[in-house]
Amino acid sequence: MRPVKTTAAAKPRRRTARAPAPKPYHHGDLRRVLIDAALQLVGEGGPDAVSVREAARRAGVSPGAPFRHFPSRDALMQAVAEEAQRRFRAEIEAALSEAPVGDPLARFRSLGLAYVRWAMHNPTHFEILSSRRFFDHDKAAGVSAENAELIELTERALAEAYAKGQLRPENLKAVQIAGRALVYGFARMNIDGHFPRWGVDGREAERTAEAIMDLFIEGIAKRPGRA
C-alpha cells in the first residue's frame, strides 16, 4: 500500500499590528498655537526653556508637525520675538493715545514709562528682544523694522519738543540718545537684578521709574526764566 500523504495543517496567519491612525489636528491655526505655546514656555522657564518638540507637545501634535512652519528652534524663537515686539508696540501706542497731542515732552514721558513698564512686566520677552542670543536678528526683518519705528517715535517726540522750544540743551542728538539710554538701561537693570543693590524692591520699581523719568525731563526742559 502506498503511504497516505498527509498535508500539514495550515498555520493561522499572524496579524501584523497596525499603527494607530494619527489623530486629526483640531486647531485652526497650528502656527499660531505653536507660537502661543512657545510664549507660555518663555513665561514659565525663560527663553532657554523653548524647544520645537516641547511646543509641539504643548500644542497636542506630533513632534514632526511643527517643522513645516518652524524648521528650527531659531525660526520658532524669531516668531516669538515678532509676537513679543507686536505686543510691545501695542503697549506703546496705547500709552501715546492717552498722551496730550500738543505736548511732545509729555508724550515722550508717556512713551518712556510705557516702555519701562512693559519691560518690567514682561522681562523674559524683553530679554528676547534686547539680546542677540536667542534668534538671528539679521534675518528678523519684522523685529528690526518695529524696533526702528519705536526708536523713531522717541526721536520724533524729542525733536518736536525741541522745535517747540521745550528743551534747554542745544544738542538734540545727545538728548535723544540719553532718553533712549535711560529707558533701555532701566529695563536692563531690572532684568539683570540690580535693583535690590540700590534698595529698590519690586513694588517700588515703577515709582522709581516715574521719579527718574521726571528727573530727566526736569533736566532737559526749558522753564520760564531759565536759559
- Is 1 domain-assigned? no
Segment 37-58 shows an average pLDDT of 90
* Domain co-membership, 120 together with 215: yes
* Domain co-membership, 67 together with 86: no
* Domain co-membership, 65 together with 137: no
Q: What are phi and psi of 100, to 5 degrees?
A: -65, 130
Using the predicted structure, report yes or no on whether residue 146 has a pLDDT greater than 80.
Answer: yes
* Residues of the chain above pLDDT 90, percent: 56
Higher per-residue confidence, 27 vs 157: 157
Residues of the domain holding 56: 28-71
Using the predicted structure, report yes or no on whether residue 225 has a pLDDT greater than 70.
Answer: no
* Domain co-membership, 105 together with 150: yes
* Domain co-membership, 157 together with 191: yes
* Domain co-membership, 206 together with 159: yes
* Domain co-membership, 60 together with 92: no
Give the pLDDT confidence of 2-41 residue by residue, as tens digits.
444 444 444 444 444 444 444 444 556 899 999 999 999 9
- Is 150 domain-assigned? yes
What whole-number distance in Å separates Cα of residue 193 and Cα of residue 102?
A: 37
pLDDT at 28: 66
Higher per-residue confidence, 125 vs 26: 125
> Which ranges of the chain does DSSP label H, i.e. alpha helix?
30-45, 52-59, 73-97, 104-121, 123-130, 141-163, 172-191, 205-220
Using the predicted structure, report yes or no on whether residue 166 has a pLDDT greater than 50.
Answer: yes
- Is 32 domain-assigned? yes
Q: What global pTM score does this model have?
A: 0.79
pLDDT at 224: 62
* Domain co-membership, 105 together with 206: yes
Q: Could you say which of 50, 71, 92 is where a domain stops?
A: 71
DSSP secondary structure code for residue 167 in this structure: B
- Is 190 domain-assigned? yes
221 SS3 class: strand
* Domain co-membership, 150 together with 120: yes
Read off the CATH number of the domain in which 174 is found: 1.10.357.10
- Is 191 domain-assigned? yes
Read off the CATH number of the domain in which 64 is found: 1.10.10.60
Give the pLDDT confidence of 106-117 residue by residue, as tens digits.
999 999 999 999
- Is 123 domain-assigned? yes
Higher per-residue confidence, 17 vs 148: 148
Average pLDDT, the chain: 85
* Domain co-membership, 43 together with 117: no
* Domain co-membership, 90 together with 198: yes
Q: Could you say which of 52, 71, 90 is where a domain stops?
A: 71
The tally of domains found in the chain comes to: 2
Segment 77-98 shows an average pLDDT of 92
Q: What is the dihedral of CA 90, 92, 95, 98, to 10 degrees?
A: -80
Q: Could you say which of 71, 104, 130 is where a domain stops?
A: 71
What whole-number distance in Å separates Cα of residue 68 and Cα of residue 148?
A: 30
Neighbours of 103 (CB within 10 A): 16
Neighbours of 135 (CB within 10 A): 24
* Domain co-membership, 90 together with 64: no
Q: Band the pLDDT of 201: cuts 50, 70, 90.
A: confident
What whole-number distance in Å separates Cα of residue 58 and Cα of residue 33?
A: 9
pLDDT at 113: 96
- Is 12 domain-assigned? no
- Is 7 domain-assigned? no
197 SS3 class: helix
